[in-house]
């Protein structure tokens, strides 16, 4: 690339394409991005206005209807995160390199930005309810899921991956969370545990004509099941997150991709800046489980009959 041939829009697209295609937690069907608007710099704020639900009353044709004022509230989504990339392409390397030397670096920049954003969003689901995290009633807490060696049967204090999904579904149902668009994001070990359950594999093998979300590996218990290596982890546990897109708001903007000539070397510099912010705007629309994976210790119950 020569600086004179640098087209910022094309390079921004080259970063944005792998970024958007690889997002799991930050994709539009998981995180609500309708408030993204025009954000220009780190520190900008997106103001989200919420309206209280009106009262549903009995109707009587002989009585005047009651009119009430609804209240509104303002939630501030602060764009307080920013990540950048910057790399140098020496003229000598550019001449000697085979293939698209800079294009590969640009794609990797997109994937790297993706990981930072997804890890940030995943961490929001681990925040305490008192500071804006998921509702306390929607947390299963610590659960032990059988996976790997062992009997393959749950023992005392153990459960199956499928049952975790059923319990997450139950928590959302109790909060009257809409069933449309429900998702669950899991890590590879949870997927491995699910794949040992015929209830999941039979659903996954059935196929679907619908377009899959980024990272989607199937459907189970009313959820689109998505796989990510960026689920929040603490010690030996991984956070499984279920919810709906309206529960999380996310705003992201690749605000700058530019090239310049380095003064002290015969080289081009390419750099880019991505700014973003996210917030749980409906904490009751998300349910979580803090999962560890253990070998099954249960035994089959042997039923004997008298001849």
Q: What pLDDT score was predicted for residue 73?
A: 63
Q: Residue 214 contacts by C-beta under 8 Å, 6 or more apart in sequence?
A: 21, 22, 23, 24, 27, 226
CB-based burial label for 49 (10 Å; 0-12, 13-18, 19+): exposed
Class of domain 134-246+285-295: alpha beta
Q: Distance between CA 49 and CA 263 in Å, rounded?
A: 49
Q: What pLDDT score was predicted for residue 52?
A: 62
The DSSP symbol for 6 reads -
Q: What is the pLDDT of residues 71-129, one digit of tens each?
A: 656 677 888 899 998 888 777 655 444 445 456 777 888 888 889 999 999 999 999 98
The residue extents of the domains of the chain are 3-54+64-126+249-281, 134-246+285-295
Q: What is the pLDDT of residues 250-305, one digit of tens each?
A: 988 887 788 788 888 888 788 888 899 999 989 999 999 999 999 888 776 554 55
Q: Distance between CA 126 and CA 121 in Å, rounded?
A: 10
- Predicted TM-score of the model (pTM): 0.78
* 139-150/286-296 β-pairing: parallel
């Amino acid at each position: 690339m020569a600086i004179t041939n640098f087209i910022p829009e094309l390079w921004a697209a080259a970063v944005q394409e792998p970024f958007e295609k690889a997002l799991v937690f930050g994709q539009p069907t998981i995180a609500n991005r309708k408030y993204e608007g025009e954000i220009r710099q780190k520190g900008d704020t997106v103001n989200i206005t919420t309206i209280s639900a009106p009262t549903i009353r009995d109707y009587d044709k002989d009585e005047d209807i009651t009119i009430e004022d609804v209240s509104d509230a303002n939630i501030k989504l602060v764009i307080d995160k920013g990540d950048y990339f910057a790399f140098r392409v020496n003229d000598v390397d550019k001449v000697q390199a085979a293939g698209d030397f800079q294009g590969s670096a640009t794609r990797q920049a997109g994937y790297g930005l993706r990981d930072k954003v997804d890890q940030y969003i995943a961490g929001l689901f681990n925040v305490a309810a008192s500071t804006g995290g998921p509702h306390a009633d929607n947390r299963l807490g610590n659960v032990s899921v059988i996976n790997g060696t062992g009997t393959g049967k749950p023992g005392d204090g153990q459960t199956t991956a499928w049952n975790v999904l059923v319990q997450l579904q139950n928590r959302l149902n109790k909060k009257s969370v809409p069933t449309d668009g429900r998702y669950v994001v899991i890590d590879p070990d949870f997927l491995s545990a699910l794949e040992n359950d015929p209830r999941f594999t039979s659903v996954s093998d059935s196929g679907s004509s619908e377009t899959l979300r980024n990272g989607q590996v199937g459907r189970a218990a009313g959820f689109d099941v998505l796989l990510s290596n960026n689920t929040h982890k603490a010690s030996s546990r991984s956070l499984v997150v279920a919810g709906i897109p309206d529960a999380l708001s996310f705003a992201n903007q690749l605000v700058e991709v530019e090239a310049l000539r380095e003064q002290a070397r015969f080289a081009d510099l390419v750099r880019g800046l991505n700014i973003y912010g996210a917030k749980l705007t409906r904490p009751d629309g998300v349910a979580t489980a803090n999962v560890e994976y253990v070998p099954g210790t249960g035994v089959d119950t042997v039923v004997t009959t008298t001849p």
